[in-house]
Every structure is written in C-alpha cells, then in structure tokens.
Structure 1
C-alpha cells in the first residue's frame, strides 16, 4: 500500500510548482487559418509563453475586489491549475474547483472505523485552500460570455466562509440549488456587472481569443499542474482547523 505525505510544499525557484506547456504543435490539427488575434488585446509579452495560471489568478483577484459576492475570497490561498482535455470537443468538463478541506473546514473525516486527513498544499509558504482547474483547450475555445460564466460559476462554489469547504445549498441539490440553469443565469448577471464596472478590463482580454489564437500569439500556453489531494489515514483525533 502506497503511503502519501500529509503535506506537499512547493517553493519557487528551488522546488517550483509543476508546469505543463501547450505549444504550436497543439493547434496544427485543429485548423490551418484564423490564428491572428486583435492587436489591441493586452495578453502580455508576445515573446514569452502565456502564463494561464498567473493571468487567471489576477482576474480572480480583480473579481474578488469588485464583486460583493466574492469579497470573501483570498486569492493568495487559491491555486489555479490546468488540465488537458481528452479531445477537442467543446462539450464536456470546462473547469472545476477542488476544496482542500472537508465540510465545515475540517481537515479530517471519519469513514468506517478509520480517520482520514486530507493532504495540505503549500506554495511559497502559503497554504492553499482551493484548486481552481481549467480544462484546455476546451475552456479557452468557448465564447467570451461562456468563459466568464464558467469562472464565476466555479468561484461561487467556494464557501462564503472561505474555510476550504464548498458552498452548500439547502435540499438535495447541494451544489447548484434546484436548477443549474437558473444558477448559471445568476452567474451571467454577475459576470456582466463585473465587465461593466472593472477598472482593469485588460485582465480578461485573454478570454476574448481562443486557444489557437493565444498559442499563435505567444508561442505557447503554460500553467500549473498538481495532483488532486488524497485522503491519508491518520491515527490523530479529528479536529477543526
């Protein structure tokens, strides 16, 4: 039986967070034309690959400062990661949020007769409470509006207490209330309000282009990639952190 550490730490530049890179080879099989993006869009230095995780975290930080529904977020405790889609279809997993704690912010839970502790992640000394993961190229190939709705959708899953747990709704539909459609309509209103009021509109410029355009402009897209947290058996008594 494999034993997993209860704590994983990454410290740049000695032990950096693992990265994955998408390069121009990724777009050769998708299409042959239409790679150019509008020159006025501010997506960063052309001579370097696009840092998806870094820019998305900047966007999340701006959302947390401008949208009252997200004032609870602490971007320093969020790690944005990317994962590779299995195919080029537009339908399927777009993004997900992974909590690093159990219900109520507990580090431990009991299953059967055993206590389990969820792994804790630290990046440059900061404990990570949530992983927000985007599936590429699928996410980047959605419309601007759909991409923004997805971002807001995932962020709204985060607990109002920002304790490492997810937001829980009343009834059997704990994650999306009684209707995912009405949930997404609510997210759309929030996203439109944000776009209309932010003082840093350039932060979501990268969402105005698709996957192929972004790679063509920057030569590549890179992002953080870490394993999903595992449950580790523990003999320690359950506690709330």
Structure 2
C-alpha cells in the first residue's frame, strides 16, 4: 500500500525535520487486544537475537530489505540510506487491514512542490544524519507479524516495488488509469511471488529472514518487548 503525506492548512509545522540516528524515538509495540494466535514455543533454529533483550523490529526489517535490494535486480535502483523504517500500531485485532505502506516524500516525477486550488504545497523533508529521506516505509504491528511467512514476504516486496525506478521520491507509476496499483491485485501478487522466487534462488540470507518465520506472541515470549522507530507522518505544507 502507498500513502500520500497529509495536508496541513496552516504553516504551523517545520518545513524540514532533522534527526541523528540516536535521536529517533524507539517505541514499544503494544497489542490493543488479546492475540488471535496461540502462543507456541519459538523454535530455537529461527534466531531473532539475544533472548530476553528487546527486539528492534525496524532494525531487523531494514536488514531484510537490504538483502532483498542487493540480490534482486528489480530493486538495484533503491538506495537504502534514503529509506526510513517505522511502525504504526494495529487498532483492531484482525488479520485483515493495513499491513504496511510506503510514503513518498516527493510529488509526481520527484517534484518538491505542487499547486492545488491556487495554493502551492511542499512536502516536509526528513533528514537523518544529514542524509535526506525519500521514502518512509511503515509496518502495521502486530498485524504484520501475525501473517504467514510467505505473506510477509509478499507485503515487503509489494512495498519496495512501489518505489519509483527513478528513485526520485515519487512512486512507481503504471500506464493507464491504475497508475499506482495495477488493474489486477492477483496479477500484482503473482508478479511479487515471482520476484520472491528470484530472491530465494539468489541465496537469500536465511539468518536475516528468520524472525519473519515467528509471529508476534513468539517474539514477545522470547524477547518480552518489541520496539521500533516512531516518527511523525510527513505533512503537505502550504508555502504561498
């Protein structure tokens, strides 16, 4: 799924937000309801880091995406240092709904400004350690973690595929009426499945993928706490 920056009427927010890596707030993932899945013992052969220490989801999902980008030619244009990963909390105890989204930090064709109803808007710009962020990749937790392993991979590939092949802060745009999503969801998922096969055959790092084979209750059982980056959603700000 993709998400456009939210529109703000008044210029009451900074045009740029800047952080160092250690300034980005880590927040604990908290399930709003009792888990849908029973707590089964997490197999020891699926490693997720030191037992008893908090599990940093956004760190580990970045490692997975780095591996995918390095092994799949379809994603070689992605510069991982320009991506920021965070999470949002599932509001309902349901397996259906938002799994993840990618928010572009530019308008169509990488434009920084867009004029609408006689007002010019600009997207907030994010910088981490001086590097500008072009895409914010957000996962919905714990819902995403409670999906089956193949479904998790489809979701990850789906979000990465949204990133423009020009890597200009815009989304990948398809010809015709369905610019962002293709006309057929099944066809789109089938294409992602083929990319996943390519990735797995290219020697995917199973150590990095291991935590995706565990669900939320299993990770909580092993680590007691799951944390991740938490940043505000970017805004569309009127500048004139």
If the length of structure 2 is used for normalisation, what is the TM-score? 0.91
Q: Equivalent residue for 2:216? A: 211
Q: Does 1:7 align with 2:30?
A: no
| Cα drift, residue 70 of structure 1 | 0.3
Q: Provide the rounded CA distance (Å) in 1 between the counterparts of 2:36 and 2:195.
A: 34
Whether the aligned pair in 2 keeps the contact of 1:27 and 1:212 (CA below 8 Å) is: no
The gaps in structure 2 that reach 5 residues or longer are 1-9
Q: Equivalent residue for 1:233? A: 238
Q: Equivalent residue for 2:44? A: 39
Q: Equivalent residue for 2:184? A: 179
Q: Could you list the per-position Cα deviations for residues 142-169 of structure 1 after superposition, in whole angstroms to 9, with x for gaps in the alignment?
A: 1100000000001000000111000000
Q: 1:29 to 1:8 in 2, by over 3 A?
A: same
Q: Could you list the per-position Cα deviations for residues 3-49 of structure 1 after superposition, in whole angstroms to 9, with x for gaps in the alignment?
A: 11100011143xx11222026xx498326953421101121122321
Task: Give the secondary structure class of the aligned counterpart of 1:96.
Answer: strand
Q: Provide the rounded CA distance (Å) in 2 between the counterparts of 1:140 and 1:45.
A: 19
Q: Equivalent residue for 2:60? A: 55
Q: Provide the rounded CA distance (Å) in 1 between the counterparts of 2:176 and 2:33.
A: 47
Whether the aligned pair in 2 keeps the contact of 1:119 and 1:231 (CA below 8 Å) is: yes
Among 4, 22, 25, the alignment partner of 1:18 is 25
The CA RMSD measured in Å over matched residues stands at 1.7
Whether the aligned pair in 1 keeps the contact of 2:105 and 2:134 (CA below 8 Å) is: yes
Whether the aligned pair in 2 keeps the contact of 1:79 and 1:132 (CA below 8 Å) is: yes
Q: 1:169 to 1:27 in 2, by over 3 A?
A: closer
Q: Does 1:69 align with 2:59?
A: no
Q: Equivalent residue for 1:239? A: none
Q: Which moved more, 1:34-43 or 1:81-90?
A: 34-43
Q: Could you list the per-position Cα deviations for residues 193-239 of structure 1 after superposition, in whole angstroms to 9, with x for gaps in the alignment?
A: 2123225211111110101101111111111111111111114xxxx
Which consecutive aligned stretches of 4+ in structure 1 deviate over 3 angstroms post-superposition? none
Q: How many residues align?
A: 231
The gaps in structure 1 that reach 5 residues or longer are 236-241
Task: Give the secondary structure class of the aligned counterpart of 1:98.
Answer: strand
Q: Could you list the per-position Cα deviations for residues 30-78 of structure 1 after superposition, in whole angstroms to 9, with x for gaps in the alignment?
A: 2695342110112112232111101111111111110000001111010
If the length of structure 1 is used for normalisation, what is the TM-score? 0.91
